[in-house]
Amino acid sequence: MFSIISTKELKAHTIEMLLRRAQFYVEQEKAGTDQSLFTHNVEGTVVNLFFEPSTRTNLSFQMAANRLGLRTLDFTVETSSVRKGESVIDSLQTVNALGVDIAIVRHQLDWPALVSKEMFNMALVNAGSGTQEHPTQALLDALTMQQHFGRLRGLTITIVGDVLHSRVARSNAALLQTMGAKVQLAAPEEYKTSDIPGAVWVEFDQALVETDVIMMLRVQHERHKTISAIANYNDYYGLNQRRLEMLSKDAIILHPGPVNRGFEITDEVLLDSRCKILQQVRNGVAMRMAVLELCLQGGKHEKLVSA
């Protein structure tokens, strides 16, 4: 079984192969290719086990599975035995026993630390684990950058905001450094962390002038148990009209979504041509098709590269 749990485990050649395969699906979609052509590549049953809310990740995995012709099972916390106290391990063992081929898991805890891949004869895909990892978000972000710049190597990416609570920041920092990019971080003191190796801390306004990519992070109020809200956050650490004017005309703006409008990002930023947030969402389907396919192929790259 081939699982995708952490970008720290992904080798450069696997990331490159996923980027190529996802780009292939993006181009087929643009060309209006009949999706039924892709349904014979792989087969299997997929379940989204989402213990935390999601719009983009949940729906794009469902759409990716549909486009590949995979069977999908419904699961919601509200209607499942989680309501009766079932643990994430027990939910996983149950869907494994039912014959599921891939479990796509989002949980408020660092769930991979609670289980071992060897416990299951199905693949696991991490769709978000606490503050630690969101590998398919980093993969689709990399695809968005590569589409714009034609490369990842040598790019400077500045990740800004609630870094402390961000699985997106951690997954992106590891993946981008594997691919030869430079990762910078900018945050108010309250949202800094020391557990992102290789990334350098910079001052937001200075970084704007030279960065290729500004990746704004959602301020994750729901995880702020002991931190008070920062007054006038947008003035200090948000992207707004003043900072748009400082940003290079060739730079791009990313945000994993959902956005806190007027907080880390203002409405005029969302209308700027450098803002690629909806392109990120579109790329999520193609990248997740590539991810599901790779898992069902047991991680065997050569079967996919020729497509």
Minimum distance from residue 128 beta carbon to ligand CP (Å): 6
Q: What is the CA radius of gyration of the chain?
A: 19
For ligand CP, the closer of residues 38 and 135 by Cβ is 135
Among residues 28, 57, 132, 178, the one that binds ligand CP under rule CB under 6 A: 57
> Amino acid identity, residue 103?
A
Query: From CA 303, how far away is CA 129, in angstroms rounded?
Result: 29
For ligand CP, the closer of residues 126 and 177 by Cβ is 126
Q: Is 130 in the site for ligand CP (CB under 6 A)?
A: no
Q: Show the binding pattern over residues 196-235: x = contacts ligand CP (CB under 6 A), - = does not.
A: ----------------------------------------
- Contact segment (CB under 6 A) with ligand CP among 144-152, 209-217, 242-250, 254-262 equals 254-262
Among residues 55, 76, 206, 241, the one that binds ligand CP under rule CB under 6 A: 55
Contact 155, 184 (CB under 8 A): no
Q: Is 28 in the site for ligand CP (CB under 6 A)?
A: no
Q: Angle at the Cα of 80 (from 67 to 111), degrees rounded to 5?
A: 75
For ligand CP, the closer of residues 282 and 303 by Cβ is 282
- Contact segment (CB under 6 A) with ligand CP among 87-95, 115-123, 231-239, 253-261 equals 253-261
**Can you say whether residue 48 is alpha, beta or left, with left for phi > 0 and alpha for psi between -120 and 50 degrees?**
beta
Q: Is 121 in the site for ligand CP (CB under 6 A)?
A: no
Q: Angle at the Cα of 216 (from 215 to 222), degrees rounded to 5?
A: 135
**Can you say whether residue 5 is alpha, beta or left, with left for phi > 0 and alpha for psi between -120 and 50 degrees?**
alpha
* E runs forming strands in the chain: 45-50, 71-73, 102-107, 123-129, 156-160, 182-186, 200-201, 213-216, 252-254
- Contact segment (CB under 6 A) with ligand CP among 7-15, 50-58, 107-115, 188-196 equals 50-58
Nearest one of 215, 225, 195 to 256, comparing CA atoms? 215
Among residues 165, 252, 256, 291, the one that binds ligand CP under rule CB under 6 A: 256
Q: Angle at the Cα of 135 (from 133 to 287), degrees rounded to 5?
A: 160
For ligand CP, the closer of residues 3 and 58 by Cβ is 58
Footprint of ligand CP on this chain (CB under 6 A)?
54-58, 128, 137, 256-258
